[in-house]
Amino acid sequence: MHKHNNKFNFTKSDIEKLTPPEKGVITYFDTGFRGLKLYVTANGVKTFFVRKMVNGRDGRFILGQYPDLSIQNARDKALLTLSDLANGRNPNEEKKANRAEQKLGDLFIEFMERYSKKEKKSWVYDQREIPKFYSDWFKRRLSDIKRTEIQRRHEKIRDENGLYQANRCLERLRAMYNKAIEWGWNSDNPTLGIKKFKEVKRDRFLQPNEAKDFFESLKLEENIIIRNYFYMALFTGARKTNVLEMRWEQIDMKSALWRIPDTKNGEPVVVPLISYAMELLNSMPRISEWVFPNSKSKSGHIEDPKRAWNRILRRANIENLRIHDIRRTMGSWEALTGASMLVIGKSLGHKSTSATQVYARLTNDPVRNSMEKAINTFMEG
């Protein structure tokens, strides 16, 4: 429609109707914001830009591609760019300098300090895993690391460390590049288009026929604090880290409730405490703010009970059971004893947008009853 009229008020519908030229590029001018332009290439790519003389030379300043950059954002960006140029700042020179200087190792440090440590509960994994798998690239410029290399590294990590590790590493590298772009690096993310390997959801839990041997082995565990930790993990179905960081101040002994202030999904969760959990808490001395203290650890509480877990499994002759599977065990046992999916979701603190209203109407009584029934079945059977 604008074949002969290159000046018009940019709107979504009009820009989408623009047809690419047979060759070269065609430029359009926005009457809605003087100075904003759009060029369309023969392969249909539409790019916003502004043009201005800088130090006697004609300068083109790319703002971004449509539709990734909306019309309103392009106008805002055009205003900022023209303002910078009027004040003697050249965005092209700054981008060029940033691209020339920033190496992957520099980006890693910036990523950790500006984003990961401030925004992510799991930042320690970024701190550990990114250097472990990508440190040989740390001295290379961001634009020098190519998609084909990242694809090969993705496959190498899968072959040597498993597909779950490979997928998590790819996610971390992708996030780093996304942040670099957000912070002014002017190029495409080289991880885009690399597919994660298909993951199979783990469904392992402590089977009914394993329960007797497991509990007998758990009773024999000499480290009482760690033994109590595993009991509590089983009685509450809470996440490993939340149980490790359990504090006495979070427990309402009168109402038999444990309020976890900060969970993986970012919201507080109230866990009903069944009678076995209350008996356990009543039998434990309060020698620290932590329910499961460890005076030798930096945090003051137990941090990694993996060695004790392996001892317990060896004694019970149980294979392929992880600590996180304890959480799945509570939910699975509730299901086996006839609990509804909503009650199970509530007892495990699952976040669900579609069922939030139903969760809100659930009281803690049927949830506690469901958890009680599940544990009783297996403790007594």
Q: Predicted confidence band at 3 (pLDDT cuts at 50, 70, 90)? A: very low
Laid out side by side, the sheet with 257-260 consists of 251-252, 257-260, 269-272
Q: Which pair of structure tokens corresponds to residue 179?
A: 């942040």
Element containing residue 180 per DSSP (H, E)? helix 163-182
| Contact between residue 375 and residue 274 where contact means Cβ atoms under 8 Å apart | yes
Q: What whole-number distance in Å separates Cα of residue 50 and Cα of residue 35?
A: 6
| Contact between residue 184 and residue 93 where contact means Cβ atoms under 8 Å apart | no
Question: How far from 108 is each of 115, 177, 272, CA to CA, in Å?
Answer: 10, 10, 41
| Contact between residue 107 and residue 135 where contact means Cβ atoms under 8 Å apart | no
Q: Predicted confidence band at 31 (pLDDT cuts at 50, 70, 90)? A: very high
CB proximity list for 98: less than 8 A, separation 6 or greater: 184, 185, 186
Stretch among 7-16, 87-96, 243-252 having the lowest mean pLDDT:
87-96
Rg of the chain over CA atoms, in angstroms? 29
| Contact between residue 258 and residue 246 where contact means Cβ atoms under 8 Å apart | yes
Q: What whole-number distance in Å separates Cα of residue 203 and Cα of residue 198?
A: 16
Task: Work out the average pLDDT over 91-117.
Answer: 80
Query: Beta 25-30 vs 7-8: how paired, if at all?
Result: parallel
Nearest to 343 by CA among 323, 378, 379, 372: 372
48-52, Cβ contacts within 8 angstroms, sequence gap of 24 or more? 48/74, 48/77, 48/78, 50/78, 50/81, 50/82, 52/82, 52/85
Q: Check whether 360 has a pLDDT greater than 60.
A: no
Which pTM was predicted? 0.50
Q: Predicted confidence band at 2 (pLDDT cuts at 50, 70, 90)? A: very low
Average pLDDT, the chain: 83
Q: Check whether 100 has a pLDDT greater than 70.
A: no
Q: Which pair of structure tokens corresponds to residue 281?
A: 């808490």
How crowded is the C-beta side of 310, counted as CA atoms within 13 Å?
A: 4
Q: Check whether 147 has a pLDDT greater than 80.
A: yes
**Residue-wise pLDDT tens digits, 272-320:** 888 888 999 999 999 999 999 998 888 899 988 889 999 999 999 998 8
| Contact between residue 18 and residue 40 where contact means Cβ atoms under 8 Å apart | yes
Provide the CA 150 distance to its chain's centre, in angstroms: 20
DSSP code for 55: T
Query: What pLDDT is recorded for position 241?
Result: 86
| Contact between residue 71 and residue 58 where contact means Cβ atoms under 8 Å apart | no
* Phi and psi at residue 220, to the nearest 5°: -85, -10
**Residue-wise pLDDT tens digits, 322-350:** 888 877 776 666 666 555 555 556 655 65
